[in-house]
Every structure is written in C-alpha cells, then in structure tokens.
C-alpha cells in the first residue's frame, strides 16, 4: 500500500512537470515566432532602405526616370531602357518576395 501511494504521488509530480514543460515550450515558441516576425520586418525595412539608397546614389536612374516623366519611354536610348527595365524587374522581384512573406503570415495587413 505504501508503494502505491508513492507511485501515485510520483506520477502526479511527473504530470505536473510535463504540464510546466509544455507551458515553457509554448512561451518559447511564441518568443521564437515574435523574433522571426521582427527579423522579417527588419529585413524588409533594410531591403527598402537599400533600394532607395541605390536609386538616390545612382548616376543614371534619376535622370532616366526624369526623362521618362518629361518625354515618355520612347525618348530613352536602348541602354537607358535596359537599365530602367532591370530596375523595374528588381522592384517586381522584391515585391513578389513581400507578397510571399505576407501569404506565409510574416507580414501584417497594414505592412503588406
């Protein structure tokens, strides 16, 4: 009878330990998800920052876009047109990545 009580108490203590372990696991998973979301947002912000810096420091992109705004796409030389297309293709790729992150749940609605 003494062994049965001891066994019941040890089982109870073990079950409490399992519950406490599960609570810690849930807390760690939430923290991990929050950190992943923060890292994703920071990565997105860095990408946008780099994009604007590259545009601002470019020797030719602002001129190309000013020329397009004033005279239209037909006024661009073949090299200017290729540069503008490459820049726009890179923008589409970045936006596609953001859409993918949104659908995977890494970006909030207002950020998307």
The answer to pTM > 0.85 is: no
| pLDDT confidence of residue 102 | 82
One digit per residue, pLDDT tens: the chain, 112 residues?
A: 688 888 999 999 999 999 999 999 999 999 998 888 788 778 878 888 888 888 888 889 999 999 999 999 999 999 999 999 999 998 888 888 888 878 887 777 766 5
Helices first, then strands: H and E counts in the chain = 3, 0
Question: What is the distance between the alpha carbons of residues 14 and 24, in angstroms, rounded to a whole number?
Answer: 15
Give the CA dihedral 76, 81, 84, 87, nearest 10 degrees.
-170
| pLDDT confidence of residue 95 | 84
Instruction: Name the nearest CA neighbour of 81 among 67, 93, 92.
Output: 67
Tokens describing residue 4: 């049965």
| pLDDT confidence of residue 30 | 92
């Amino acid at each position: 009878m003494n062994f049965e009580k001891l066994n019941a108490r040890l089982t109870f203590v073990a079950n409490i330990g399992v519950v406490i372990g599960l609570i810690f696991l849930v807390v760690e998973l939430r923290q991990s998800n929050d950190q992943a979301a923060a890292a994703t947002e920071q990565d997105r912000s860095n990408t946008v920052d780099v994009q604007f810096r590259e545009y601002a420091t470019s020797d030719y992109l602002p001129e190309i876009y000013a020329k397009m705004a004033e005279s239209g796409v037909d006024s661009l030389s073949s090299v200017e047109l290729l540069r503008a297309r490459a820049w726009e293709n890179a923008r589409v790729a970045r936006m596609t990545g953001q859409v993918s992150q949104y659908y995977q749940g890494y970006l909030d609605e207002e950020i998307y």
